[in-house]
Amino acid sequence: MYITGARFPGRYIQAPGLIARLGEESKSLGQKALVILDGNVAGFLESSVREGVQPLETTLLIHGGECSEREIGRGVEAGKAAGANLVVGIGGGKALDTAKAAAFRLGSLPTVIVPTIAASDAPCSALAVVYTEEHTVDYDYFLPRNPDLVLVDTQIVAEAPARFLAAGIGDALATWYEAESSRIADAPNCWGTHGSPLAFEIARFCRDTIVEHGAKALAECDANTTGPAFEKVVEANILLSGAGFESGGVAGAHAIHNGLCELHDVHGYLHGEKVAIGVLGTLLIHGQQDEFEKVRDYCRTVRLPTTLAEIGITEVTDEKLRKVAERACRPGDLMDNEPIRVSPDMVVAALRQLA
């Protein structure tokens, strides 16, 4: 049977100051919440979280930094000890993914996700990317359901460095290109069906939004303001990109990202920055030179890297490129969703052009 479809979070709400309504918006889902708070933001957000989560009974766990088996296990242990019937994740993508994974292992508990940056499309998805303690991608953890609520306080997001917003634009940039590759290849999406027409329209709208409003949104973020362009791009980075990738499909750009994560050189760089390199590399693999030049020029306007040196690979060697390419082309993985067979040699050749 050929099944098409799309999937979304149960509810998505976005506004400045929304953290103050966290408890009120979540209370229909559960009364005893395990709150996993990103350690990078705990210092300035903990008091707002404790106030905003009322009237829920809460246990607060500070996230250790990586979405790893160890951190997921910590969440599960804390949730069991607290008798939690709801998990709330607050912070960046790795803290959020940890919350989603822990909620599932606690018996598919309801999940509330509160991103504090718009650096990736992780918040809305039923996916957690699990890393090793050495910060390389371990595996993609596909979960049976999306978060029940995604709550985005855009004032918090606007006060984060604009680099995070730019990285989210990089992740969102891949959404349409990978969905289009998956559509042409007739490849399944993340949950084993095929993207519906709506899925591909969401991916297209995501691309059009970031292209039209990306540069202005970054300027508004520089000023810590939640202007019209900023609000549109935050929604594109989180909701449109999340629904678009999950329902439309993931392919070469993220495959190359996963390969790049094998190198210690890139560990100081953000997910979306590496994904942007993946988009450029995939366009080169397909020989789409005009589109490559257009996307490269756009990336420069929104502060995204266009060379390997800009993600820390200043010494480009055959050994490094081969390591990236072999991981990117791992059998049965994301590169299989491209409409042509991509070999490690093709990835190496494309990346050389970005050196």
Which residues partner with 149 through β-bridges?
Answer: 112
Q: Is 171 a catalytic residue?
A: yes
Give residue 63's region: left, alpha or beta (phi > 0; psi -120 to 50): beta
Place of tokens 């030049």: 293
Integer Cα distance of 75 and 105 in angstroms: 9
Element (H, E) at 4: strand 4-5
Integer Cα distance of 127 and 94 in angstroms: 11
Find the catalytic residue in 63, 194, 213, 257. 257
Which strands form 111-115's sheet, in the order they lie side by side?
Answer: 12-15, 149-153, 111-115, 86-91, 32-38, 57-63
Find the catalytic residue in 63, 194, 271, 286. 271
Q: Is 194 a catalytic residue?
A: no
Integer Cα distance of 114 and 230 in angstroms: 17
Q: Is 121 a catalytic residue?
A: no
SS3 state at 89: strand
Q: Could you report how far apart the first and last alpha carbons of the chain are, in Å?
A: 45
Find the catalytic residue in 63, 194, 213, 254. 254
What are the C-alpha distances in Å from 228 to residues 54, 170, 216?
A: 30, 20, 9
Cis previous bond, 228, omega within 30: no
Q: Is 135 a catalytic residue?
A: no
Find the catalytic residue in 121, 148, 153, 171. 171
Which residues are marked as active site? 171, 254, 257, 271
